[in-house]
């Protein structure tokens, strides 16, 4: 069974530029999560999708971050414009509906200079 | 306000000995708890979980203990192996309609010395 795929693995941009991350969850996993993990901290939930609908985006900085999950499969997370404090690893995870166990992708390490 | 706390950033143990990783939580709405293990440059992987109706769950070398009155859980690894060296995250979830939404601690880096 293929795991959660993410791309790119690394990205370096300058502040005020925009960036997008892509995630392909495990087949059949209706629930998809985006997390931000700052160095030395645990993953912090940004947004949770159930199929193509948003379940929770209470911690998503909506003035600069956006996410979509068209067709209920792949998802993209965008930052526009980026700030220095956005430097972090962005993790995508998926799970079966109602399951607590999440399967994580390898993450995208973003560096904003 | 950090709702899930792992107060020990790091732990070092000798191979073959017991590793004990601790986690405290403040939100009484949390009813399901998970431990994830993370190797460098990889995403976290699920290790073991426990529901609040239990006080212990065991899976091979890994045992999680839950003390709900103290809002404390611990992960025991016996015997510890060098391959267990990783960052361990404690996570907690409420048993409500949004099952799956987990709040993570900041992790404990375990080093198992040969």
Q: Give the tens place of pLDDT for each residue, B54-74.
A: 999 999 999 999 999 999 999
Residues paired with residue B90 on neighbouring β-strands, in sequence order: B35
Share of chain B above pLDDT 90, in %: 87
| Predicted local distance difference test score (pLDDT) of residue A70 | 82
Average pLDDT over chain A, rounded to an integer: 94
Residues 14-53 of A with CB under 8 A from B: 31, 33, 40-45, 48
pLDDT band at B2 (very low <50, low <70, confident <90, very high): confident
Q: How many angstroms separate the CA atoms of A73 and B16, rounded?
A: 44
DSSP SS3 for A55: strand
**Contacts for B57-63: CB closer than 8 Å, 24+ residues apart:** B62/B35
Dihedral in degrees, nearest 10, Cα atoms B61, B66, B72, B76 = -10
Residues paired with residue A108 on neighbouring β-strands, in sequence order: A90
| A110: pLDDT strictly greater than 70 | yes
How many helical (H) and strand (E) elements, i.e. helices and strands, does chain B have? 0, 11
Give mean pLDDT, residues A31-57: 94
| Predicted local distance difference test score (pLDDT) of residue B80 | 98
Q: Give the tens place of pLDDT for each residue, A50-59.
A: 988 999 999 9
Select from B45, B100, B104 the Cβ nearest to the Cβ of A31: B100
CB < 8 Å to A93, chain B:
43
Q: How many angstroms separate the CA atoms of A79 and A59, rounded?
A: 14
Q: Where is average pLDDT lowest: A8-12, A65-69, B97-101, B108-112?
A: B97-101
| A95: pLDDT strictly greater than 90 | yes
Q: How many angstroms separate the CA atoms of A54 and A68, rounded?
A: 9
Task: Please list, in sequence order, all residues whose beta carbon lies within 8 angstroms of the beta carbon of residue B58, skipping any fewer than 6 positions away.
Answer: none
């Amino acid at each position: 069974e293929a795991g959660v795929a993410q791309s790119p693995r690394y990205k370096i941009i300058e502040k005020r530029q925009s960036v997008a991350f892509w995630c392909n969850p495990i087949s059949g996993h209706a629930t998809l999560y985006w997390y931000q993990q700052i160095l030395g901290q645990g993953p912090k939930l940004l947004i949770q999708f159930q199929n193509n609908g948003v379940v929770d985006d209470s911690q998503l900085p909506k003035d600069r971050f956006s996410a979509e999950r068209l067709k209920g499969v792949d998802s993209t997370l965008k930052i526009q414009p980026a700030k220095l404090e956005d430097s972090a690893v962005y993790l995508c995870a998926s799970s079966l509906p109602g399951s607590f166990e999440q399967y994580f992708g390898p993450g995208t390490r973003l560096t904003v200079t | 306000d950090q709702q899930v706390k792992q107060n020990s950033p790091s732990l070092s143990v000798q191979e073959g000995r017991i590793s004990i990783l601790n986690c405290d939580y403040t939100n009484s709405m949390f009813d399901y708890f998970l431990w994830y293990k993370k190797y460098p440059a990889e995403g976290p992987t699920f290790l073991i979980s426990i529901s609040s109706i239990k006080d212990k769950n065991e899976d091979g070398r890994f045992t999680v203990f839950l003390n709900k009155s103290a809002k404390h859980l611990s992960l025991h690894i016996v015997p510890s192996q060098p391959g267990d060296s990783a960052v361990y995250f404690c996570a907690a979830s409420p048993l409500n309609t949004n099952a799956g939404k987990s709040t993570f601690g900041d992790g404990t880096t375990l080093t198992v010395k040969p």
